[in-house]
Amino acid sequence: MSIFGKSMAFPPRVGSDGRFVWSFGETNIRESIAVILRTEPGERVGVPEFGAGLARFLFEPNNAATHARVQDAVGRALARWEPRLAVEALEMAADPADAETALLTITYRLVATATRERITLNIPLASA
At the topology level of CATH, where does 6-124 sit? Nuclear Transport Factor 2; Chain: A, (3.10.450)
pLDDT of the chain along its 128 residues, tens only?
Answer: 456 676 777 777 788 898 887 777 788 889 899 999 999 999 999 999 999 999 999 999 999 999 999 999 999 999 999 999 999 999 999 999 999 999 999 999 999 899 999 999 999 999 86
**Selection from 69, 74, 111 nearest residue 89 by Cα:** 74
Q: Is the pTM of this model over 0.75?
A: yes
Q: How many residues does the chain have?
A: 128
Neighbours of 62 (CB within 10 A): 22
Q: Where are the domains of the chain?
A: 6-124
What dihedral angle (degrees, nearest 10) is formed by the CA atoms of 85, 89, 90, 95? Answer: -120
Which secondary structure element, helix H or strand E, spans residue 92, and what is its range?
Answer: strand 85-95
66 and 125 in contact (C-beta within 8 Å)? Answer: yes
